[in-house]
Structure 1
Amino acid sequence: MAVGHEIVQQQRQRDPEHGGGGESSGKDYTDPPPQPVLTASELRRWSLYRAAIAEFVATLLFLYLTVATVIGYKRQAESDASGCGGVGVLGIAWAFGGMIFLLVYCAAGISGGHINPAVTLALLQARKVSVPRAALYVAAQCLGAVCGAGLVRAIHSPDAFVRLGGGANAVGDGYGRGTGLAAEVVGTFVLVYTVFSATDAKRNARDSHIPVLAPLPIGFAVFVVHLATIPITGTGINPARSFGAAVVYNQARAWQDQWIFWVGPLTGAAMATLYHEHVLRASAIKALGSFKAG
């Protein structure tokens, strides 16, 4: 192991682009191979189901803590005539971003810590997960979201839960559905772009001595997107989060706008995947050769 470490250090010293200044073109990182689209053998592995359980529990905890924060803030604001009660929009944004940071940190070594169907489908598009794994993850995330929102409802009276909005996403007053859709597309683009950048093999090789580096920017991306879009849509950027809250809240307004919280995030995730994988990392170009002049 020590010899291998010394070889890597020597490569960095020789290669200006990869940590040094010389003639060698050796890389100090290795891109993971593309995952097969369909693989029956994966369905026989306990590790797949363990990862799905981790996604279920993580999404359940995410919905429980964040929806409880939203409901608690609205309940305090309702009883405080000054309007200063509760954590406010800033506190809600911190709750969402902080929970993503914690849960990605906890689940990353087991399932990758997706906690979001948009992230899962972006990684499927990038050939980083297989179709069976992606399908199982999305199902686990949606089920976990419903259970998490259900726990919040269980600790509040049904009337209060419905009156306070149930933590469900909907386009805000004064905004059109087109604006809401655009906010979800851009917000999810920021999130998924951050996910790809934070988990890039090249970056991991440089920053492996900082184990929290990947979860931290992902959580911070969720935080800043919430600050920008809470007034517009309540901030979805996660179809499971929006779906789980809508199922438990079960009011017409949440279902009328539900399509925005699927189409927007999935579109933003697809755009971020294309940008990172095929523009920044030039995967398609590498597959075909290069643009070198003959």
Structure 2
Amino acid sequence: MAENKEEDVRLGANKFTEKQPLGTAAQTDKDYKEPPPAPLAPNKCASVGIQGIAWAFGGMIFALVYCTAGISGGHINPAVTFGLFLARKLSLTRALFYIVMQCLGAICGAGVVKGYMTGPYQDLKGGANFVNHGYTKGSGLGAEIIGTFVLVYTVFSATDAKRNARDSHVPILAPLPIGFAVFLVHLATIPITGTGINPARSLGAAIIYNRDHAWDDHWIFWVGPFIGAALAAVYHQIVIRAIPFKSSRAC
């Protein structure tokens, strides 16, 4: 009897075969339709976008500052060096030496990128900074000033000995807020200028690419960051550092 029942089940399964299509095509008798599945990206970098670029810059700055902070202070950026010089954190000779080395490093880095990624390098115009269409030079300059102010002020705040003494119970890894500030500034200013905030980075890309548009707005990426760094230094040293500790007195 058991064998006969198993035979009947097999015959029934074969008799009524599944002809209904699977997936979204099976919804012909429903009163709604699911959207089709999103296509896969045509290449590995197509879905990176502004956010991915911002994370790349912020993460790399975090790593570089962490690795070089114990050697040179982890400046990396002439605007940061200039701001710290104005705050009398380093001498003029050391500041000039740092800026020259930062520019040479940026030129070498841009050359390596061009050598290894010839096709994408040309398509992306060498990564050179310029004011994008739809924005004025004034908008680009303002974006560079504000973006660099945020970065340099974060550097001052994260490395302030007075704050460390006051908030010693709050552990802080200085490269982390600095890298996160770079990430946020890139999110805001990539559509405007491609985000400079580092004159050495802009100079290296312009020299290696060396096309007209790379030099058209180049002055913005020196003047803007240096103004932003100067404002951050003045604000931190005169306004913030001028606030004394609150001392409690016994009645």
Q: Which range, TM-score by smaller chain? A: 0.7 to 0.9
1:183 CA displacement? 0.3
Amino acid at match of 1:113: G
* Structure 2 counterparts to residues 2-151 of structure 1, below 5 A: 85-151=46-112
SS where residue 141 of structure 1 aligns? Answer: helix
In 1, the alpha carbon distance for the partners of 2:45 and 2:61 equals 26
Specify every segment of 5 or more residues in structure 1 that has no aligned partner in the other structure, as ranges.
1-79, 286-294
Amino acid at match of 1:223: F
Amino acid at match of 2:140: G
Do the aligned partners of residues 148 and 112 (structure 1) sit closer, same or farther apart at CA in structure 2, a change above 3 Å counting?
same
1:209 CA displacement? 7.4
Which structure is larger by alpha-carbon Rg, 1 or 2?
2
Q: Aligned pair 1:203/2:166, yes or no? A: no
SS where residue 174 of structure 1 aligns? Answer: coil
2:238 is aligned, of 253, 256, 278, to: 278
Do the aligned partners of residues 209 and 272 (structure 1) sit closer, same or farther apart at CA in structure 2, a change above 3 Å counting?
closer
TM-score (norm 1): 0.65
Residue in 2 that maps onto 1:49: none
Amino acid at match of 1:222: V
CA contact (8 A) 1:125 1:273 kept: yes
Q: Aligned pair 1:238/2:198, yes or no? A: yes
Specify every segment of 5 or more residues in structure 2 that has no aligned partner in the other structure, as ranges.
1-40, 245-251
In 2, the alpha carbon distance for the partners of 1:237 and 1:119 equals 9
TM-score (norm 2): 0.76
Do the aligned partners of residues 201 and 184 (structure 1) sit closer, same or farther apart at CA in structure 2, a change above 3 Å counting?
same
Greater RCO structure (CA 8 Å; 6+ sep): 2
Q: Aligned pair 1:171/2:127, yes or no? A: no
1:252 CA displacement? 0.6
Paired residues in the alignment total 203
Spell out, residue by residue over 1:173-193, the C-alpha distance to the aligned partner (whole angstroms, 9 max, x if none): 110100000000000000011
Spell out, residue by residue over 1:104-127, the C-alpha distance to the aligned partner (whole angstroms, 9 max, x if none): 011000000000000001111000
Residue in 2 that maps onto 1:216: 176
RMSD: 2.1
